[in-house]
Amino acid sequence: MSRHAWAPWSPACAAPWSRWSAAESASTTACRRRRSTTNRRSSRGSAVCDPSTTVIGPSPARSDRLLVGLLAGQRSVLPSPWSDTVRTLDPRDPLVLDTRDLGRRPGSQRELSRTVAAPADLGIDMLGVPVGSDLILELRLESVMEGVLVSGIASVTLSGQCVRCLEPIGDRLDVQLQELFAYDESDAEDDEARRLEGDALDLEPLLRDAVVLALPHNPLCGPDCPGLCSDCGARLADDPDHTHGEAIDPRWAALSQLSDQATLPGAMSGADEE
């Protein structure tokens, strides 16, 4: 029997490394409990993004605007879900309008008449507005609670080609404009609404959308344009009687020649003499 009686173990009598390990384990366990409690509490008040059900891309409200970018043969100029601005506005740009004179007072308005040079890419592949041509704007800017309402008419000159006969075509087009440019701090219901940058608004994206949507997808020189000859490419409107005769399958061309020789007058008389 040993002289020393066994005493209950306590952290005070344990080796230093043992006491440290026990304290660390207790601290780690407490941290995990706190994190678990915090996660449970936060999950009650916030939605969890499920990758299997989350839709990444444009909202249905932007489907028409994205279609405009596709028809124009370029990337959309409208704000995307991954960017807040389209371009840096230059106050010297004639399509950038200053609204400071409205004072953000609902009901205040002003009329605007301006002729500017048409920007690039204002149209589709076969029909569009020539770069630098006159673009006539007759606008009204009205201050409302949410922002500035722009309405009016844009008159442009069109130039392009007929999709059937490739003849040059031209026309005039008057486009109705109406769009709300919301203030940056406005609680607009539509998250994709166009917004003012400070007191300036950019008309170019609005013009591009309005013009492209007003253009015909298949521009024609006339509703009854016959197009081009499928064999030689001649314009059928210039020669309505244009024809190449009956088309012969190349595989039967030799038999056709024999048939033509058999119908010659000499061949027929020789057959009669026999």
196-207 tens-digit pLDDT: 888 889 999 999
Q: Is 68 exposed, middle or buried (0-12, 13-18, 19+ CB in 10 A)?
A: buried
Residue 141 pLDDT grade (very low, low, confident, very high; cuts 50, 70, 90): very high
Output the pLDDT for position 273: 52
Parse the chain into domains and list their residue ranges: 61-214
What pLDDT does 232 receive?
A: 87
Q: In whole angstroms, what is the distance from residue 199 CA to residue 48 CA? A: 37
Do the beta carbons of residue 106 and residue 143 sit within 8 Å?
yes
pLDDT at residue 131, rounded to an integer: 94
The strand pairing partners of 197, in sequence order, are 200
pLDDT band for 95, please (50, 70, 90 cuts): very high
Q: Which position has the higher pLDDT, 215 or 190?
A: 215
**% of the chain exceeding 70 in pLDDT:** 59
Task: Specify which residues 137 forms β-bridges with.
Answer: 114, 154
What does the pLDDT look like over 40-78, one tens digit per residue? Answer: 443 333 333 333 333 333 434 444 444 444 444 443 344
- Residues of the chain with pLDDT > 90, as a percent, come to 35
Look at residue 27 and tell me whether its pLDDT is greater than 70: no
pLDDT tens for each residue of 222-233: 999 999 988 888
Where residue 129 falls among pLDDT bands split at 50, 70, 90?
A: very high
Residue 172 in tokens: 């005039």
pLDDT of 260 > 50? The answer is yes
| Range in 110-119, 169-178, 243-252 the model is least confident about | 243-252
Q: How far apart are CA 236 and CA 243, in angstroms?
A: 9
pLDDT higher at 212 or 62:
212
Assess whether pLDDT exceeds 90 at residue 266.
Answer: no
pLDDT tens, residue by residue, 29-43: 444 444 444 444 433
Phi and psi torsions of 161, nearest 5°: -135, 150
Residue type, 197: E
What rounded mean pLDDT belongs to the chain?
Answer: 72
> Which pLDDT score, from 0 to 100, does residue 133 have?
94
Considering Cα of 126, then 131, then 135, then 141, what sign does the dihedral take? Answer: positive
Does 156 score more than 80 pLDDT? Answer: yes
Q: Which residue has the higher pLDDT, 113 or 252?
A: 113
